[in-house]
Amino acid sequence: MSAREIDGAIRRPIWFPVEVLAILVVASVCGCGGSGEKPPKLVAVTGKVLVNKSPLAGVALNFVPRDSTKGTGGFAGTLIDGTYELMHRTRAKGVEPGTYYVTFSRFAMPDGSPIPEGKNATDVGAVESFPPDLVNPPADRAKYVITVKEGQAENFDFDLIVKSKK
């Protein structure tokens, strides 16, 4: 082996990790491999839920696909002012365009008061405070059916009438 070959052999290991690192960076940026699943085109959906004419925090909404609507639907929870912002199962904001029926649920203490801060609903004996026709309606008899159109943000407000359980 000549001096030049020995010199090249000694230097090669110093540069080799840098070359491998460069290849790995390029491959990850280019996205070699992957699931091949394209993320769905989502439409932003917001709105407000009033219960007996007043905003109510902690109402869970589910947008359930209906008819020929593809996808998994969306979910949200209301803030203290009754507003919500729908999220896809991927935690991205929005939902696929299509027709959905909407379900509503809210767990509260048996007297209707909110679940204490930091407590779990099951630990404090919380119960569903909404009637079955809002919580789990048959798809063909759901009271609230909406259509999300492609390409434009949507706003859907709901005014629910819920009789107190006494």
Residuewise pLDDT in 10s, the chain (166 residues): 555 554 554 454 444 444 433 444 444 444 444 445 566 899 999 999 999 999 999 999 999 999 899 889 999 999 999 999 999 999 999 999 999 999 999 999 998 888 998 999 999 999 999 999 999 999 889 999 999 999 889 999 999 999 876 5
Do residues 125 and 109 make contact, with C-beta atoms less than 8 angstroms apart? Answer: yes
Q: Is residue 132 part of a domain?
A: yes
Assign residue 67 a region: left if phi > 0, alpha if psi is -120 to 50, beta otherwise? Answer: left
pTM over 0.85: no
| Residue 89's CATH number | 2.60.40
Cα gap 95→86, rounded to integer Å: 7
What the block records as the tokens of 65 is 């696909």
Tell me: do 137 and 63 sit in the same domain.
yes
Do 26 and 103 share a structural domain? no
107 and 29 co-located in one domain: no
d(Cα 70, Cα 62) in Å, to the nearest integer? 15
Q: H or E segment at 16?
A: helix 3-30
Residues 135 and 81 placed together within one structural domain of the fold = yes
**Token output for 103:** 């379900």
Domain assignment of residue 165, yes or no = no
- Say if 72 falls within a structural domain: yes
In a domain, 166, yes or no: no
In this structure, the answer to whether residues 54 and 80 fall within a common structural domain is yes
Q: Are residues 92 and 29 in the same domain?
A: no
78 plus 136 within the same structural domain: yes
Q: Are residues 67 and 3 in the same domain?
A: no
Same domain, 51 and 127: yes
**Domain around 27:** 1-36
Domain shared by 30 and 51, yes or no: no
With 0-12 CB in 10 A as exposed, 13-18 as middle and 19+ as buried, what is 140?
A: exposed
